[in-house]
Structure 1
Amino acid sequence: MRNGVLAAAERATDAYELFGRVSAGLGRQVPFDAAVWTAADPETGLITAPMRVENLGTGEGCAEYWESELLEENVLPFRELARATVPAAGLRAATGDLPARSSRFRRLLLGLGVHDELRAVLRIGERPWGLVSLLRTARTPQTAAAFGPDEVALVAGLSRPLAERLRTFARPRGVGPATGRPGPGLILFDASGEATSINDEARQLLALLPDGPSFPTPLGLRLPIWVIGTALQARAVAGGHDRGEARVRIRTTEGRWLTCHASALTAAGGRPGPVALVIEPAGPADLGVLVAQAYGLTSRELQITQLVARGTTTTEIAATLFISPHTVRDHLKTVFTKADVSTRGELTARLFTEHYWPVAVAGRRSA
């Protein structure tokens, strides 16, 4: 059973297709009526593109679902499952068959007729690459029952192999030419979470994001759930619900990466203020971490790879890192294997050059 699902995952050409293939195969073994499959930023655990929502109508409740996840006390939050011994669990089993103990169930799932929810984190170590929510209603005898231990164990066993497959889709791929590096975009949200202001750069960058659940705003545009989720995380951190970072990387339709980060401001008298969200092309620091995660590089391997990209010789790398040239060469052999390249030039092109936004012409002239 497990092998069939993994074989379907191997045939996928991107993360969205992977979610669809795995969902179809898994549904024959672990019946469910609706599902949410989403990629996650492995650094922060926040949702990112793509997201696949199945059998939940228009998905208008999607923002409410993630608002509850981040701002309310809940049973089985994804951030805890990411660190749990077993990365999957059923809501009814976790609450002693009292799912209303979960704010998420009371606020949203009950009204949708949901009987039970099975949640899983697709992770490597404690780094989440995907999040899964499988929902059962009472539509059929099969889905009127709670998720059982064997079903939870099957989904948990898929966590690492599916995360490893998702990780491959975060790797660089050939991208077409771009006209220049856009400036930072800014979106302001009021204390209730409503988007109130936006600059032209943000509109330009939002237009590059892939399709997915999005929601209307008074600004005359729809904001994707990944942007809304980042703003919600900033409110969660400010309110003491989480100590994580409100930061997520999102891949554009062209294959380049954007970084979206937010923080809650303080108004006069210490009152909660607006949330400022910045969306901009991912810089070298973000890309370096992303490359390391996508290829499974250790911190030392990433250091060496970054020095190689700068044209540093083996002897110079050894002196910089206080290790022997022989150790540098051993690390490079491992990096070549992980990146499936055979030369330094190929390594630099694959891991770095294809990620970068070109420098704007105006920026070069003013430098």
Structure 2
Amino acid sequence: MGGRRRGEALTGIDRAADAGDLFGRASARLRRAVPFDAAVWAAADPETGLVTAPMLVEGLGERERCADYWESELLEENVVPFRDLARAAVPAAGLRAATGDLPARSARFRRLLEGQGVRDELRAVFRAGDRSWGVVSLFRTGGGPFTHDEVELVAGLSTPMATRLRRLARPAEPSPLPDAPGPGLVLFDPSGAATSLNDEAREHLASLPPGPSVPTALGVRLPIWIIGTALQARAIARGRDHGGARVRIRTAAGRWLVCHASGLTGPGGSPGPVALVIEPASAADLAVIIAESYELTPRELEITQHVARGLPTAEIAARLFISPHTVRDHLKTIFQKTGASSRGELVARLFTEHHWPGARS
């Protein structure tokens, strides 16, 4: 029974045109098997686990409290945070089951969910191998809590959803590349409010896909994935996390930006502002996403990077201490996985199509 319901929930995901379409299809199908009243679906950066575009928010007043939800996730003590689920044997959990039917043990429930009438939350991480590619939270405002079978069903979606998200990270068809703005800078005060930004930041923000965002006093709305990166920098500064405050974001045109934030020190060593930089992603920034999206092994990615540098087979073999025959075997596999038929096509497909030309000075 569980296998049939899981299969029904996954019906059509292979036809999804992009991650947003994937979330919409999966949500509509899953609701039939696991009833819920609201949901948040989001892509995740496979290296840091931070949420990125796109994000689908359904119910609970739509997007008004979305920033508060992620602030609680990153800065407060909570039950089954996504970072723990990403490493758990079962990548899904229900809030009431995890707290012994005492959900108020979670700050997220006390501060946000209870006031919105939520009785239970089921959350999951979509992971393939040791990489997280997305997350989902399902909410119930009525009826009983999520059952063990429902948690197991959602957990069973983890690898298929991650595999599809990973594949959808591949580049779209080549298109003319515009000049890229230089690095954008956004400053946040210690409370998390955006206080200033440059024109380049405004240009980059305008290129991002639609999604949940928050207004600022600067006349621009900041997407949740930008807010989340700044929140992660604050969490690191407070000693709550050792991870990186860094996320790759795909623009509405299919190009990649990288966003990274750092907490600064105030007077007397007190927590200071957060500086966030958003800029065009380089090939090095995208190495993991590129390799994972084509299911390249670490060795295959290494060889591909040497090919991108223009090295011949013999020199690649010498640098990697393997035979030229082994290099050719790896290249054959790489061509099969990527659909490329030559070295030039391989470099264009895996690198040139993913990133911007040199930034404007």
1:60-81 deviations in Å (ceiling 9; x for gaps):
1000000000000100000000
- Please give the residue correspondences for 1:283-362 in structure 2 after superposition, counting only pairs within 5 Å: 283-360=282-359
Mean Cα displacement is larger for which, 40-49 or 311-320?
A: 311-320
> What letter corresponds to residue 158 of structure 1 in structure 2?
L
Secondary structure at the residue paired with 1:355?
coil
Query: 1:333 Cα deviation (Å)?
Result: 2.1
Mean Cα displacement is larger for which, 346-355 or 214-223?
A: 346-355
Among 46, 49, 52, the residue aligned to 1:42: 46
Who is 2:149 aligned against? 150
Distance in 2, matches of 1:312 and 1:177, equals 27
Distance in 2, matches of 1:100 and 1:203, equals 40
1:235-255 deviations in Å (ceiling 9; x for gaps):
001111111100000001111
Query: 1:130 Cα deviation (Å)?
Result: 0.4
Who is 1:141 aligned against? none
Query: 1:290 Cα deviation (Å)?
Result: 2.0
Verify: 1:184 aligned to 2:188, yes or no.
no
Distance in 2, matches of 1:146 and 1:96, equals 11
Distance in 2, matches of 1:226 and 1:175, equals 26
RMSD over aligned CA atoms reads 1.2
Answer yes or no: is the 8 Å Cα contact 2:11–2:29 preserved in 1.
no
Distance in 2, matches of 1:286 and 1:86, equals 30
Who is 2:281 aligned against? 282
Query: 1:55 Cα deviation (Å)?
Result: 1.2
Distance in 2, matches of 1:295 and 1:263, equals 31
1:311-341 deviations in Å (ceiling 9; x for gaps):
2211111011111112112221222222122
The two structures have a TM-score, normalised by structure 2, of: 0.96
Who is 1:110 aligned against? 114
Distance in 2, matches of 1:145 and 1:336, equals 51
Secondary structure at the residue paired with 1:133?
strand
Distance in 2, matches of 1:242 and 1:337, equals 40
Distance in 2, matches of 1:88 and 1:133, equals 10
Distance in 2, matches of 1:104 and 1:334, equals 47
Identity of aligned residues (%): 70
- Please give the residue correspondences for 1:218-237 in structure 2 after superposition, counting only pairs within 5 Å: 218-237=217-236
> What letter corresponds to residue 287 of structure 2 in structure 1?
G
Distance in 2, matches of 1:151 and 1:355, equals 38
Q: Which runs of structure 1 show a deviation greater than 6 angstroms over 4 or more consecutive aligned residues?
A: none
Secondary structure at the residue paired with 2:162?
helix
Verify: 1:96 aligned to 2:100, yes or no.
yes
Answer yes or no: is the 8 Å Cα contact 1:185–1:200 preserved in 2.
yes
Distance in 1, matches of 2:33 and 2:116, equals 23
Aligned length in residues: 357
Answer yes or no: is the 8 Å Cα contact 1:30–1:151 preserved in 2.
yes
> What letter corresponds to residue 52 of structure 1 in structure 2?
L
Name stretches of at least 5 consecutive residues in structure 2 with no aligned partner. none
Answer yes or no: is the 8 Å Cα contact 1:246–1:262 preserved in 2.
yes
Distance in 2, matches of 1:353 and 1:286, equals 13
1:251-290 deviations in Å (ceiling 9; x for gaps):
0111110000000000121111100000000012112222
Answer yes or no: is the 8 Å Cα contact 1:175–1:256 preserved in 2.
no
1:331-355 deviations in Å (ceiling 9; x for gaps):
2122222212232222112111111
Answer yes or no: is the 8 Å Cα contact 2:187–2:196 preserved in 1.
yes
Secondary structure at the residue paired with 1:176?
coil
Verify: 1:80 aligned to 2:79, yes or no.
no
Answer yes or no: is the 8 Å Cα contact 2:283–2:354 preserved in 1.
no
Who is 1:60 aligned against? 64
Answer yes or no: is the 8 Å Cα contact 1:176–1:254 preserved in 2.
no
Query: 1:175 Cα deviation (Å)?
Result: 4.2
Q: 1:152 to 1:167 in 2, by over 3 A?
A: same
Distance in 2, matches of 1:341 and 1:5, equals 33
Distance in 2, matches of 1:254 and 1:111, equals 38
Distance in 2, matches of 1:192 and 1:122, equals 31
Who is 1:10 aligned against? 14
> What letter corresponds to residue 108 of structure 1 in structure 2?
L
Q: 1:58 to 1:90 in 2, by over 3 A?
A: closer
Secondary structure at the residue paired with 1:202?
helix
Secondary structure at the residue paired with 2:329?
helix
